[in-house]
């Protein structure tokens, strides 16, 4: 056991693997679980310990970070005889860093609290300086999670009650989806006029467009367009 304690990470894909490395570099021991064994092996290679289930992670850590792609994955990790709820201990904290329906986090936070723990929503968004983390939950639970979140984010903000971090994240996704649509149309229009879409960046100096115009949306495991579609569906459900 590290002198800094042990954290658990459920989902060690594009985000969870970065979190794993950051916690290890900060002196924590890290226990991980992922349905993809290759991703767990990659985490083991940099110093993490592999658990056989989400329950196995919960049984050995102080804080559990969920780095999962949406509500169905959160439900799968929490439920069942091998789920987090089966292994949660008193005074543990569960931190959902993915983009999830607010109602999902509210539902499972109540179940975690029944078992003596606590749960917050803390979705992330990337910027040039790193990750902004938007937290929903009680002030007490925020204070408990803040030291862990500051390891992986450069700005950690308490937005409001449980679910409000997810609400703000969905607004963030709405803005990003709009930007993607505008720059995609601009790139297509440029091509139709026999211009290179790269001119939008190199000549017009719309620097923020660079990653969008030159992106193929085929990042392995990223499923970027699918994730944006999912997030906008969550937003539509929330505001209807």
Q: What percent of the chain clears pLDDT 90, i.e. is strictly above it? A: 72
Residues 129, 75 share a domain: yes
Residues 213, 129 share a domain: no
Lowest mean pLDDT among 38-42, 83-87, 213-217, 226-230: 213-217
Domain that holds residue 176: 167-239
Token pair, residue 208, equals 């923020």
Q: How far apart are the C-alpha atoms of 69 and 166, rounded to whole Å?
A: 13
- Checking if the pLDDT of 215 tops 70, the result is no
Residues 134, 26 share a domain: yes
**What is the count of structural domains for the chain?**
2
Who wins on pLDDT, 85 or 210?
85
| Stretch 130-157: mean pLDDT | 97
Using alpha carbons, list the distances in angstroms from residue 186 to 47, 165, 199, 201, 211.
44, 32, 11, 11, 14
- Residue 44, burial from CB neighbour count under 10 angstroms (0-12, 13-18, 19+): middle
Where among 105, 133, 160 does a domain terminate?
160
């Amino acid at each position: 056991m590290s002198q800094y304690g042990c954290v658990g990470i459920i989902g060690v894909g594009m985000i969870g693997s970065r979190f794993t490395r950051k916690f290890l570099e900060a002196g924590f021991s890290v226990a991980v679980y992922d349905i993809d064994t290759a991703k767990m092996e990659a985490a083991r290679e940099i110093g993490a310990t592999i658990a056989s289930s989400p329950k196995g992670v919960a049984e050995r850590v102080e804080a559990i970070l969920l780095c999962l792609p949406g509500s169905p994955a959160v439900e799968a990790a929490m439920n069942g005889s091998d789920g987090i709820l089966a292994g949660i201990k008193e005074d543990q904290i569960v931190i959902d860093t993915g983009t999830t329906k607010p109602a999902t986090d509210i539902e499972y936070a109540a179940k975690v609290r029944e078992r003596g723990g606590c749960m917050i929503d803390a979705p992330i968004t990337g910027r040039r300086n790193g990750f902004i983390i938007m937290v929903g939950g009680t002030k007490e639970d925020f204070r408990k999670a803040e030291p862990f979140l500051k390891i992986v984010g450069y700005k950690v903000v308490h937005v409001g009650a449980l679910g409000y971090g997810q609400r703000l994240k969905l607004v963030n996704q709405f803005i990003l989806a709009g930007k993607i649509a505008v720059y995609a149309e601009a790139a297509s229009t440029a091509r139709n006029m026999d211009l290179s879409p790269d001119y939008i960046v190199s000549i017009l100096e719309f620097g923020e467009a660079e990653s969008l115009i030159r992106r193929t949306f085929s990042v392995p495991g990223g499923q970027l367009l699918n994730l944006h579609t999912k997030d906008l569906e969550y937003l539509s459900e929330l505001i209807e």
